[in-house]
Amino acid sequence: GQQVQQSPASLVLQEGENAELQCNFSTSLNSMQWFYQRPEGSLVSLFYNPSGTKQSGRLTSTTVIKERRSSLHISSSQITDSGTYLCAMERAGGYKVVFGSGTRLLVSP
Amino acid sequence: NAGVIQTPRHKVTGKGQEATLWCEPISGHSAVFWYRQTIVQGLEFLTYFRNQAPIDDSGMPKERFSAQMPNQSHSTLKIQSTQPQDSAVYLCASSRTDGTLYFGSGTRLTVL
């Protein structure tokens, strides 16, 4: 079964709106990461967040390991935020990093 | 720091031919991962090396796919007798001990 479930699968926002992306994990995990995939395909690490809350500019990541979930909050969205957001987990007991299917975000003017 | 370097950027092979993909990890990174991305399957884990040793190849198709890391500066993914269903973007990533993954730009493989 799928170990990493992301929601929503897609999201359309108007510029300036906020977004909350979710990741849920079906197994115990050591850590998790959030990535942004640009429309042309390149992947950029946003957060390595084993637990707790981290903020970088308009982005905030919160991971609750015990509850096997993580969220990514985007405030005051901009057109350039459009792309795919992926979460990934490192499973407990191993180093394999498994990805969710992503959230496709489109921010329109 | 040039980041993770993958070559070639694009590769087109005929059905049945061999394809070798190259990855140069970031200097000093101890782990190298290979992934495959398609629209249907998303990002699939293939294999993982730590300090050049193969740790987990559970995502590798057992036939035709093999990966090597002969030294700390490069890894290769070889696909023998390529099939159309092997068409995908193959991504390599490296990480330090803290686990943050840094991805290369990928190799887009097209099997005709």
Pick the closest to residue B34 from B57, B13, B17 (CA basis): B57
* Interface residue B26 vs chain A (CB under 8 A): no
Q: What is the pLDDT of residues B14-43, one digit of tens each?
A: 999 999 999 999 999 989 999 999 998 899
DSSP assignment string, chain B: ----EEE-SEEEE-TT--EEEEEEPPTT--EEEEEEEETTTEEEEEEEEETTEEEE-TTS-TTTEEEEEEETTEEEEEESS--GGG-EEEEEEEE-TT--EEE---EEEEE-
User: Which residues of chain B have a pLDDT value below 50?
Assistant: none
Q: Chain A closest CA to B4's CA: distance in Å?
A: 11
The percent of residues in chain B predicted with pLDDT above 90, rounded, is: 85
**For the segment A66-108, what is each residue's pLDDT rounded down to a tens digit?**
888 999 999 999 999 999 999 998 877 667 888 999 999 999 9
Q: Do B105 and A88 touch (CB under 8 A)?
A: no
Closest chain B C-alpha to A82 CA, distance in angstroms:
17
Sort out which chain B residues have CB atoms less than 8 A from A98's CB and list them. 45
| A33, A42, A101 member nearest B42 (Cβ) | A101
B28 lies within 8 A of chain A by CB: no
